[in-house]
Structure 1
């Protein structure tokens, strides 16, 4: 009887995560949309500015409340923090929430006995989608910080997108570089994540090719 409590609490937490996942995904997209509007649409009226600011604050508050709820439900809270460090990171920095797509994908796959796509295809699809959303978020952040900075080469959102593409793919042409502290931090994070995402896509594609060639060689 003494062990039933912790088991029930962990089961409750897993049920909570499963039920909250679609709402968190919708809130993540809404947060990104509200941030994009505030960055890309100049001259918002005070009413619309207040509305989109409220959307940003409410969705961010939802992320914080959901993380704290799971933390309180967990039986071992220190273990929860250590094993869910990505959740804590994207709660503190909501623009990094596209990284949670990988964790969402894993949870979805654990509910299926027979995944619909091959492993390599799933990795490439989720890594590509994560890179796309993360690159868009980084473009918004850099454009917001750099467009009025003295000596900045990021003058349009197109410049920011070009910079994000070259940084995410670790190409680094050097024609557009951030000059502000926050812009450079964003670039460092994007380079680090870009190596992991591009490596996942290339590695999965190579694995698929090798498996395909091996099958053709056996036939």
Structure 2
């Protein structure tokens, strides 16, 4: 018998369907941004799909808020969910929960902690980079003095930003583009820190000798 709370059961049942809706949201948004010659009726269809997916996210958030019984405390304990609701292009960050659900069998993860962290970060970076490329391209490609004129430029910029390299050959010039850049920088540092910390911990565990005293906190 499943003794999990109603909120946990709801999340388990809706995680994969919501991921599919997230892909539909990203696909419809991508088509609207990249297909410049698309006819107006098809653009309206894509726009309707985008808003319909967003409505699903809102309904899911409200249901989980009601099931939690936390009222305003739900905002503090589900900060990422709240941010993703306002900025749905950041939904790739929720890939961690989906991947964890897929990898678990009888509550036992199939991958080690270090492998999971690196895999989570890689998947999140891939989807977040694509979403960020779309968003910054939409803001920049037609702006006066912009250096991000093509989607290829946007992808290159997203890769250099998420990796915290920042070559500076292409940079956003619009307020919206710079706001997106700030969010991408923060996410890039967080993902890189997670991977670096996990890899360093794995090295310490792998090469430590039996009986050797580890550094405090490791």
Task: Tell me the TM-score normalised to structure 2 length.
Answer: 0.90
**Partner secondary structure for residue 77 of structure 1:** coil
Find out whether 1:135 has 2:129 as its counterpart. Answer: yes
Equivalences for 1:38-53 in 2 at 5 Å? 38-53=32-47
The CA distance in 1 between the partners of 2:137 and 2:211, in whole Å, is 51
- Where structure 1 has 5 or more consecutive residues not aligned to the other structure, the ranges are 1-7
**CA shift for structure 1 position 98:** 0.7
Partner of 2:162: 168
Find out whether 1:149 has 2:143 as its counterpart. Answer: yes
Partner of 1:4: none
Partner of 1:5: none
The CA distance in 2 between the partners of 1:156 and 1:217, in whole Å, is 57
**CA shift for structure 1 position 51:** 1.1
**CA shift for structure 1 position 191:** 0.3
Structure 2 counterpart of 1:81, from 49, 59, 75: 75
**Partner secondary structure for residue 109 of structure 2:** coil
The CA distance in 2 between the partners of 1:75 and 1:217, in whole Å, is 48
Q: Cα distance 1:47–1:212, how it changes in 2: closer, same or farther (>3 A)?
A: same
- Where structure 2 has 5 or more consecutive residues not aligned to the other structure, the ranges are 213-218
Q: Cα distance 1:183–1:153, how it changes in 2: closer, same or farther (>3 A)?
A: same
Partner of 1:103: 97
Q: What is the aligned length?
A: 210
Pick which of 107-116 and 15-24 moved more: 107-116
**Partner secondary structure for residue 111 of structure 2:** coil
Partner of 1:30: 24
Task: Tell me the TM-score normalised to structure 1 length.
Answer: 0.89
Pick which of 156-165 and 106-115 moved more: 106-115
Structure 2 counterpart of 1:61, from 55, 80, 97: 55
In terms of fraction of residues, the more helix-rich structure is 1
Pick which of 159-168 and 74-83 moved more: 74-83
